[in-house]
């Protein structure tokens, strides 16, 4: 990739935005933090429902905001809202404050959702490199594993006693890093021909719906990804800590294994180009989906075995590292510029609806223990994996969309 292009510049900026913006020193002890502050397993799943509800409400208006005013402005608003939400954790000792934090944090994410992919894809188009979208997203995603590597080691060590003062220290450290994120947001450059156009917002929604209707492969692909990610990512990450702890792993060692998984994820993310050169993207999506199902089932059936729990943990982390960049390439090839952020936001509404359904169902069985939740997760991931992925040529999908608008 040419290092002098706007794509190269924006990829570097998003790498650092991702690094500073996703760092969480609370992550290796987050579920234990919730438990220490009085939340139950069911309330943690309700917490996720508030997050998803905020995404559901915010996706379309923030997607239109990004298409109308550009990625930089969208990222700035999202970053500031995220900082405010995390600051709430310093004072959260009642469930309603956690729910408010979760809602605000979920809403802040929607200012990035779609806008980041649209920015990178259109930046790549300027230098005729849009076929390198998965490489770019893999590199950007790798920043999250580097930040995790630092945060989990520091976080698990500083909170080894699970004391309230230690939790507050981790929150403050995280806030300091998020403030640095804003500096890199200000350095974002808009492509000369990009997805951000000042059009009628309702026209943007209509065009986005046309994209989805005229390219049903896009919706099936999205469902495949999200029905694996929800159980294997969003749900599992809130139960891996207590699973490890109950299997006999000391709290301060949790950060060590998070760090190892971060290194593994970093290497996988930066090897996306090699993987897609050796194997088809569709095959990689299928294999990774079945690996997610296996990891969830093993965790549910052999939760008392530390080695099996750790093995499943690494499998699920690897799956999360490779699926999203590949999906990003496949899906963005089907979405025309001008409505890219809005279309991705419309798809995210489907994701939020599924989040609410899955979290709601699993919260009713959470009282019976982790095994029931993980078995339910495995079943949902299997459904997602079995949904077919059939990529179509970009010109065919976009011509169908243009024709539908006539």
Taking the C-alpha atoms of residue 275 and residue 268, their distance in angstroms, rounded to an integer, is 9
pLDDT of residue 351: 77
The whole domain housing 96 covers 6-188+202-404
pLDDT of residue 204: 58
Q: How many other C-beta atoms can be found within 10 angstroms of the C-beta atom of residue 250?
A: 11
pLDDT of residue 304: 85
Which positions ≥6 away from 303 have C-beta within 8 Å? 243, 246, 247, 309, 370, 371, 374
In a domain, 49, yes or no: yes
pLDDT of residue 37: 92
In a domain, 196, yes or no: no
Taking the C-alpha atoms of residue 325 and residue 276, their distance in angstroms, rounded to an integer, is 11
CATH of the domain at 148: 1.20.1250.20
In a domain, 113, yes or no: yes
In a domain, 138, yes or no: yes
In a domain, 324, yes or no: yes
pLDDT of residue 273: 82
pLDDT of residue 397: 44
What backbone torsions phi and psi does residue 5 show, to the nearest 5 degrees? -85, 165
pLDDT of residue 40: 85
Do the beta carbons of residue 195 and residue 126 sit within 8 Å? no
Domain count, the chain: 1
Taking the C-alpha atoms of residue 104 and residue 252, their distance in angstroms, rounded to an integer, is 30
**Residue 357, SS3 per DSSP:** helix
pLDDT of residue 208: 63
Taking the C-alpha atoms of residue 357 and residue 363, their distance in angstroms, rounded to an integer, is 10
In a domain, 194, yes or no: no
In a domain, 343, yes or no: yes
Q: Is the pTM of this model over 0.85?
A: no
Half-sphere exposure of 104 (CA within 13 A, CB side): 18
Using alpha carbons, list the distances in angstroms from residue 401 to 206, 209, 212, 332, 345. 11, 9, 9, 14, 17
**63-117 pLDDT tens trace:** 778 777 888 899 999 999 999 999 999 999 999 999 999 999 999 988 987 778 7
Low-confidence stretches of the chain (pLDDT beneath 70)? 1-3, 193-212, 215, 334-342, 344-345, 367, 391-406
In a domain, 148, yes or no: yes
Buried b (16+ CB within 10 A) or exposed e, 203-232: ebbebbebbbebbebbbebbbbbbbbbbbb
pLDDT of residue 219: 80
């Amino acid at each position: 990739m040419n290092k002098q292009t706007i794509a190269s510049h924006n990829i570097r900026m998003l790498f650092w935005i991702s690094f500073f913006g996703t760092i969480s020193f609370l992550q290796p002890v987050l579920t234990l933090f919730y438990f220490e502050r009085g939340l139950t397993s069911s309330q943690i799943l309700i917490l996720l429902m508030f997050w998803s509800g905020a995404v559901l409400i915010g996706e379309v208006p923030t997607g239109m905001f990004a298409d109308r005013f550009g990625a930089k402005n969208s990222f700035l608003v999202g970053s500031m809202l995220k900082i405010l939400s995390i600051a709430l954790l310093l004072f959260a000792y009642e469930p309603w404050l956690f729910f408010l934090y979760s809602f605000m944090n979920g809403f802040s994410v929607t200012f990035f959702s779609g806008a980041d992919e649209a920015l990178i894809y259109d930046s790549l188009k300027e230098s005729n490199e849009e076929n390198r979208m998965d490489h770019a997203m893999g590199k950007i995603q790798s920043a999250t594993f580097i930040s995790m590597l630092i945060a989990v080691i520091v976080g698990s060590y500083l909170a080894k006693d699970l004391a309230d003062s230690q939790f507050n220290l981790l929150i403050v450290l995280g806030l300091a890093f998020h403030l640095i994120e804003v500096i890199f947001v200000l350095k974002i450059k808009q492509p000369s021909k990009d997805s951000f156009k000042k059009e009628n917002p309702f026209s943007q929604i209509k065009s986005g719906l046309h994209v989805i209707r005229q390219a049903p492969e896009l919706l099936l692909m999205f469902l495949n990804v999200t029905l694996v990610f929800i159980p294997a990512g969003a749900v599992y990450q809130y139960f891996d800590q207590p699973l490890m702890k109950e299997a006999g792993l000391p709290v301060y060692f949790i950060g060590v294994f998070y760090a190892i998984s971060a290194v593994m994820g970093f290497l996988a993310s930066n090897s996306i180009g090699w993987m897609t050169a050796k194997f088809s993207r569709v095959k990689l999506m299928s294999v990774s989906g079945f690996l997610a199902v296996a990891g969830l089932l093993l965790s549910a059936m052999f939760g008392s075995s530390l080695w099996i729990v750790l093995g499943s943990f690494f499998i699920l982390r690897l799956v999360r590292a490779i699926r999203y960049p590949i999906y990003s390439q496949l899906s963005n090839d089907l979405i025309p510029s001008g409505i890219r952020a809005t279309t991705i936001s419309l798809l995210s509404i489907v994701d939020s609806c599924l989040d609410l359904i899955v979290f709601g169902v699993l919260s009713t069985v959470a009282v019976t223990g982790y095994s029931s939740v993980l078995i339910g997760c495995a079943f949902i991931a299997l459904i997602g994996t079995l949904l077919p992925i059939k990529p179509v040529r970009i010109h065919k999908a976009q011509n169908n969309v243009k024709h539908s608008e006539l």
